[in-house]
Amino acid sequence: MLLSWQSLCTFGTGESSQASIMNQREQMEQRGQWRITVWEEEHFQGKRCEFMLECPNILDRDFQKIRSIKVENGPWVGYEYPEYQGQQFILEKGDYPCYQAWSGNSSYRTEHMLSFRPIKCSNHSDSKITLYECEDMMGRKFEMCDDYPSIQAMGWCSKEVPSIKVNSGAWVGYQFPGYRGYQYIFERDRRQGEYRNYNEFGTQAHSNQIQSMRRIQH
């Protein structure tokens, strides 16, 4: 159930009560930064449910699947399977009337999206990431502060990125140039921003191939 600020104001008086109300208000304002609505059918039809927090398994809400999404405040990351497993899909503010909309230019489209969570550290105007030529953040490195539809075109000499350090913000990396293929979400506030090998990129990662990257829009 979603509570309004007015309903919170009805609980008691006094300094301790006022402090509690202010704390509740701050929590609500923070939660309001993320809002997503999902539907069981395409084009925003059928059963619907709104979230301001993560959902580890939409099946627990008596959904069979998610076929359309509206992100009012974001960004979010969706997952193919429950408990944040399988393919990752970036969900920035906007409408996703069918699964093709969040699959984007990926050749690995799937109708499944069964869990999702907010991305809390994204900062499009202040994002920096460091790529390394070896695992465990060793070897030659390259810092990026902008979007690159082809990291090879900007000077990276390989199709592979063995390890990554997110210095600030949140990023999405793609398997192929032009923001195509598998998506991998890299965040400063997870794993301390350190992705030491491709196994840490995501549960669907089978190699360290990343050929395009961009900052996540908030």
* Strand arrangement, sheet containing 35-41: 45-51, 35-41, 68-73, 94-96
Q: CATH topology of 35-118 equal to that of 128-215? A: yes
Which of 13-27, 36-50, 67-81 shows the lowest mean pLDDT across its residues? 13-27
Phi, psi (deg, nearest 5) at residue 18: -60, -40
Domain assignments of the chain as residue spans, ordered by start: 35-118, 128-215
When the candidates are 2.60.20.10, 3.10.20.30, 2.120.10.80, 3.30.70.360, the CATH number that belongs to 35-118 is 2.60.20.10
pLDDT in tens, 180-202: 999 999 999 999 999 999 999 99
Determine whether domain 128-215 maps to CATH 3.60.10.10: no
Question: Is the per-residue pLDDT at 47 higher than 90?
Answer: yes
Higher pLDDT, 8 or 129: 129
Q: Which residue has the tokens 């402090």?
A: 19
DSSP per residue over 66-115, as a string?
--EEEEEE--EEEEEETTTEEEEEEE-SEEE-SHHHHHTT-SS--S---E
Phi, psi (deg, nearest 5) at residue 141: -135, 160
pLDDT in tens, 71-119: 999 899 999 999 999 999 999 999 999 988 988 666 566 778 999 999 9
Q: Model-level pTM?
A: 0.82
DSSP 117: E
Q: How far apart are CA 102 and CA 106, in angstroms?
A: 9
Name which of 201, 216, 122, 130 is nearest 169 in CA terms.
Answer: 122
Q: Which residue has the tokens 């600030």?
A: 168
